[in-house]
Every structure is written in C-alpha cells, then in structure tokens.
C-alpha cells in the first residue's frame, strides 16, 4: 500500500468523543461490571458446576480478567452505539447463514461435478469498498471469506479489496448486497 | 422425533464434509483448494454440531442444556476463526509469490 495514494476522503473521519459528565472512574467501573458479567456467564456455561468452590473460583478469575482487561474489552467510545449494533447483528446473522448455505451448495455442486475443471475459472478481482470504519471492513472481509467461492486476499484500511473467486458467478456477486447490509448494520 | 431430526442434520453435515474432502482432492491449485477446505467444513460443522446439540438437549435437564450451549459455542468460535485461518493461509501463498491457476483460454480481469 502506497502512502501517497491515500487522499483525504479515504481517511475515516475521527469521531469526537462525546464529553461525558461521568468521571473516568465511573466509566472504568461500568466497563469493569460489563466485562465481569460476560466473563462470569462464560465461566458458568463452560464449568457447569454450581457448588461454592467452583463459583468462587469463577468470581475470582472473572474479577482478575475484568480488572486487567475491562477497559480493553469494553471500550467506552463504542458503548453508546453497542445496543443498536447488536440488534443489527441479530438481523444480519440469519441472512449471512442463508447466504453461506446457498453458496455452500454451489461449491458442493462444483466439487462433485464430473467436468468441474471446465466450470471453474479462478481469478483475483479487485474492487474498492465504500465502507470506511475498520470494524465494518473487518466484518465485510470475514463475511466474504465465509461465503464459499470467495476468499479475501487483501484489505487495506482505505477499503481496497482483493478477493480470490472460484468462478464467474461468485465473482459477479461482489461487492453487491453484502456491502449494503454491512453498511446499514454499522450505520454508515 | 427429535433424534430423527438430529440424525438427518448430522448426515447432511457429513455430506458437506465429504464434499469438502472431494473438493480438496479435485480442485486444480492451492488457492482453489482452499475454497472447499475452508468453507464446506464450516457448513458441515454447523449442521452436524447443531444435530448433536439437538440430540443432547432432548431430555431438557440443566446439564444437557449446558452441554448443548458448549457445543454451540464451538460453532461460534469456528465461525470466527475459520475465515481468519483461511485468509492467513491464502495470504501466505500470495506473499510467497505463487500465482493462481486460471482456466485455459481465459484471462483474469484485474
């Protein structure tokens, strides 16, 4: 990636952090509590024991993790739009699963086709995405890789994608509807 | 009834796994082999593990539900890590300078 290629409009806008009335201490506390609850829930699901010893160990372990990494796991900047994002995610995942299923059938058909070698024409396609935020690019890139027929080769922070596609129908589907969905999900 | 549904899901999952293995053997080059390897496996895992979770959760006790939750957690983690791993392998190929196989008579549009 050439640094000179980055023109100003490619650089994601810096979001101003809303100056909160809460003190840094309170924010840290809220981050701690959320991280602690998530850690403890994971502990309980994974351990499956409810006696005093295991629960105490779980509380201790979650406490240590939340103290050390609470502010890293739950960043205050993202907290405000987190609920909307999660709601969007719940809508996005079934659609993604359906797309994965359709595309899987396609690759399965290719794998068993007797004249498979004539049907496929692998190529690396390049396109520029209009997504700006790193998180959107990350979700979009992983969604591309999850849908069969396409694997992300390279993503730049400015939204340039290189994608390896197995055949022409897979290549033609990009960036298309998936990009729109991710954009709406992340509120871009 | 539920165990029948679970069996159907597991068999479907195994079918996807089989397709993945056949695909790895039949596709022409490194990059195209990653397609069935990385993705048909994910789908096979999703179907077969959903089947197993359904089978486990039949008798609705707390421990059965916890076990089913753990099984579904495996699916979630594979869905996060599998694309990353596939991308890492492919990126290693690109960095090493391996050029992708293209169908004879066709020129890749770049």
**Alpha-carbon distances of A57 from A26, B66, B80, B96, rounded to whole Å:** 26, 19, 28, 47
Q: Using one digit for the tens of pLDDT, what is the confidence trace for B82-93?
A: 888 888 888 888
The residue that leads in pLDDT, B15 or A153, is: B15
Quick check: ipTM above 0.85?
no
**Alpha-carbon distances of A73 from A30, A46, A61, A77, B46, rounded to whole Å:** 12, 20, 15, 12, 27
3-state secondary structure (DSSP) of residue A101:
helix
Q: Do A120 and B27 touch (CB under 8 A)?
A: yes
Lowest mean pLDDT among A69-83, A112-126, A131-145: A69-83
- Name residue A124's beta-bridge partners: A164
Select the residue of B22, B70, B106 nearest A112 (Cβ to Cβ): B22
**Alpha-carbon distances of A134 from A16, A177, B57, B104, rounded to whole Å:** 16, 19, 39, 38
Residues near B80 by beta carbon (within 8 Å), at least 6 away in sequence? A142
Residues near B70 by beta carbon (within 8 Å), at least 6 away in sequence? A45, A46, A48
Residues near A76 by beta carbon (within 8 Å), at least 6 away in sequence? A17, A20, A27, A30, A31
> pLDDT in tens for each of the 110 residues of chain B?
888 999 999 999 999 999 888 888 888 888 888 888 888 888 889 899 999 999 988 888 888 888 888 888 888 888 888 888 888 888 888 888 777 777 666 554 44
Q: How many residue pairs bridge chain A and chain B with CB atoms within 8 Å of each other?
A: 117
DSSP code of A114? T
> What pLDDT is stored for residue A108 in this prediction?
86
Write down the mean pLDDT value for chain A: 76
The pTM (predicted TM-score) of the whole model is 0.72
Q: Which residue has the tokens 């293995």?
A: B21
Q: Where do the H-state alpha helices sit in chain A?
A: 24-47, 52-73, 76-79, 82-112, 116-119, 134-146, 168-172, 176-185
Domain spans in chain A, listed from the N-terminal domain onward: 10-79, 82-185
CA A71, A73, A77 angle in degrees (round to 5)? Answer: 65
Which residues of chain B make contact with A151, given a CB cutoff of 8 A?
Answer: 31, 34-35, 38, 86-87, 90
pLDDT above 70 covers a percentage of chain A that reads 80
Extract the tokens encoding A139.
């979700």
Alpha-carbon gap, residue A99 to A87, rounded angstroms: 19
Mean pLDDT, rounded, for A99-113: 84
Extract the tokens encoding B23.
């695909």
Q: What is the DSSP track for A127-156?
A: EE----SHHHHHHHHHHHHHSTTEEEEEE-
Alpha-carbon gap, residue A35 to A133, rounded angstroms: 24
> What pLDDT is stored for residue A101 in this prediction?
85
Partner B contacted by A159 (CB < 8 A): no
Tell me whether residue B73 is exposed, middle or buried, using C-beta atoms within 10 angstroms of its C-beta: 0 to 12, 13 to 18, 19 or more: middle
Q: Which range is most confident: A148-162, A169-183, B3-17, B93-107?
A: B3-17
pLDDT at A160 over 90: no
Mean pLDDT, rounded, for A131-147: 80
Mean pLDDT, rounded, for A61-79: 78
Preferred mutation among A123, A154, A156, A170 to probe B, highest tally of B CBs within 10 A: A123
- pLDDT band at residue A57 under the 50/70/90 scheme: very high
Lowest mean pLDDT among A61-65, A140-144, A174-178, B105-109: B105-109
> What pLDDT is stored for residue A93 in this prediction?
84
SS (H, E, C) B89-101: HHHHHHHHCCCCC
> What pLDDT is stored for residue B9 in this prediction?
92
Largest CA distance in chain B: 61
Spatial CA neighbour of B12 closest among A106, A105, A146, A170 = A105
């Amino acid at each position: 990636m050439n640094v000179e290629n980055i023109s100003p409009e490619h650089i994601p806008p810096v979001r101003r952090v809303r100056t909160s009335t809460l003190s840094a201490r309170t924010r840290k506390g809220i981050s701690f509590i959320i991280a602690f609850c998530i850690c403890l829930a994971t502990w309980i699901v994974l351990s499956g024991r409810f006696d005093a010893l295991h629960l105490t160990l779980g509380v201790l372990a979650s406490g240590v993790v939340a103290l050390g990494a609470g502010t890293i796991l739950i960043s205050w900047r993202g907290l405000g739009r987190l609920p909307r994002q999660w709601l969007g995610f719940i809508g996005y995942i079934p659609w993604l699963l359906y797309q994965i299923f359709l595309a899987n059938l396609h690759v399965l058909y290719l794998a068993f086709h007797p004249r498979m070698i004539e049907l496929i024409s692998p190529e690396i396609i390049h396109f520029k995405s209009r997504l700006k935020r790193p998180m959107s690019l990350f979700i979009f890139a992983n969604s591309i890789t999850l849908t069969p027929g396409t694997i992300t080769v390279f993503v730049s922070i400015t939204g340039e994608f290189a994608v390896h596609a197995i055949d022409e129908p897979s290549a033609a589907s990009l960036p298309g509807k998936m990009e729109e969905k991710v954009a709406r999900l992340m509120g871009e | 009834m539920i165990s029948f549904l679970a069996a159907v899901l597991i068999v479907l999952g195994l079918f996807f796994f089989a397709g993945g293995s056949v695909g790895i053997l039949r596709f022409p080059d490194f990059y195209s082999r990653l397609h069935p390897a990385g993705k048909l496996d994910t789908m096979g895992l999703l179907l077969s593990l959903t089947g197993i979770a359904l089978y486990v959760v039949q008798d609705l006790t707390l421990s059965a539900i916890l076990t089913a939750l753990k099984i579904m957690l495996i699916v979630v983690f594979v869905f996060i890590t599998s694309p990353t791993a596939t991308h890492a392998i492919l990126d290693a190929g690109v960095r090493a300078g391996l050029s992708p196989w293209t169908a004879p008579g066709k020129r890749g549009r770049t």
